[in-house]
Amino acid sequence: MRIGELAEKTGLAPSAIRFYEQSGLLPEPERSPNGYRVYSEQAIGRLRMVQLAQNLGFPLDRLREAFAGDEVYPKEDLLHKLDTRLDEIEQLMTALRTQRKTLRTLRTTLSEAWAAGKCVDGVELANQLLAQQHEPVRRSKTRHE
Amino acid sequence: MRIGELAEKTGLAPSAIRFYEQSGLLPEPERSPNGYRVYSEQAIGRLRMVQLAQNLGFPLDRLREAFAGDEVYPKEDLLHKLDTRLDEIEQLMTALRTQRKTLRTLRTTLSEAWAAGKCVDGVELANQLLAQQHEPVRRSKTRHE
DNA sequence: ACTAAGATTCAAGTCAACTTGAAGGTCAAG
DNA sequence: CTTGACCTTCAAGTTGACTTGAATCTTAGT
């Protein structure tokens, strides 16, 4: 199987596969005499695992640790990684709930002021709402197409 | 007030303030004869609004639209933006819940297999779990420091 | 023989939101 | 008069996960 076929079977772009190989996520494949990469069925499985991990929100460099050595990654570490990610998710959800709450407050406040024909002081409102926002929180990065 | 003071009062870096100005989020300030930027108290309010919007998860180019013209942005559009962001948040939360569910399944499966001294086929497991994952979803980007 | 599809490598571009660096101007204090 | 803090501009670097482009090669089909 050449790279194009593997790409089709996994839904990835050939460039992405080469990129994964280059980043050490995928072992270097055999080459046919003309220099083309030749993959076994195994490669599909490997990529599926990468895709799953990506879907679960693990950045590629975290995967590298687990996929670098050939097979059998220590189970304790694996569980630890899962737990770490689970914690991250909780934090993100908390942050999102806070955002949602603030947005709803803002929505209501503005709607009411609008209905009453009043003019709102955006600055004061912002100061007020900023006081509620506690933990700013960082990026999520949840899979691209 | 020069840029350093404004930076301190808002908790932003001077470079960030210059960047915001450059991106059209902040009006160009007066300059003192030596060329230094000179800000009024107003600028603090403006930056607080930007910070709030950032905390709420709006990317800067969305803000640009609302902050470009001087004052009074159409209220309907504003409400629409809030609603759009609220929808995004719901989608992100859904995606995170899916991830969490899968991670928990994975955790349990691995723990059990480990306890039973079994060897798990990562590939098959991945295929199985990937089937559950529906919508891949894009990034979140929830404010930095 | 020619074309088109698909392969190769390597370098550089993309997006976001800034930061960092280089090279220099201004100003109060010692 | 020199040091140091603070300011200026402009260009380039950062991170993540790839994509895109350029230049070249292989192979199957007409």
pLDDT value of residue A135: 57
Residues 23-42 of B with CB under 7 A from strand D: 35-37
Distance CA B132, CA A23 (A): 27
Instruction: List the structure tokens of B1.
Output: 């007030």
pLDDT at A33: 96
Main-chain phi, psi angles of B38, to 5 degrees: -125, 120
Q: Is A83 helix (H, G, I), strand (E, B) or coil?
A: helix
CB within 8 Å: B142 and A96: yes
The model's pTM is 0.86
Residue A4 CA, nucleotide C7 C1', distance (Å): 9
Q: Which regions of A6-70 does DSSP assign to beta strands (E)?
A: 30-31, 37-38
CB nearest to B142's CB, from A55, A123, A140:
A140
The CA-based angle A9-A53-A144, given to 5 degrees, is: 70
CB distance A138–B144 less than 8 Å? yes
- Helix pair angle (A41-55, A14-22), 10° resolution: 90
The band of B144, judged by pLDDT with boundaries at 50, 70 and 90, is: very low
Averaged confidence pLDDT in chain A: 87
Mutate to test the interface with B, among A58, A92, A114 (most CBs of B within 10 A): A92
Residue at token pair 């409102």: A125
pLDDT band for position B145 (50/70/90)? very low
Q: Length of chain B, please?
A: 145
pLDDT digits (tens, 9 = 90+) for B92-101: 999 999 999 9
How many other CB atoms are found less than 10 A from the CB of residue B92? 25
| B-chain residue closest to A120, CA distance | B72
Nearest C-alpha of chain B: how many angstroms from A104?
8
Minimal C-alpha gap between B88 and chain A (Å): 10
**pLDDT tens readout for residues A96-139:** 999 999 999 999 999 998 888 877 777 888 887 888 776 555 44
Q: C-alpha angle B56/B60/B63, rounded to 5°?
A: 75
Nearest to B79 among A52, A55, A110 (CB): A110
Which positions on chain D have an atom < 7 Å from some protein CB?
6-9, 16-21, 25-27
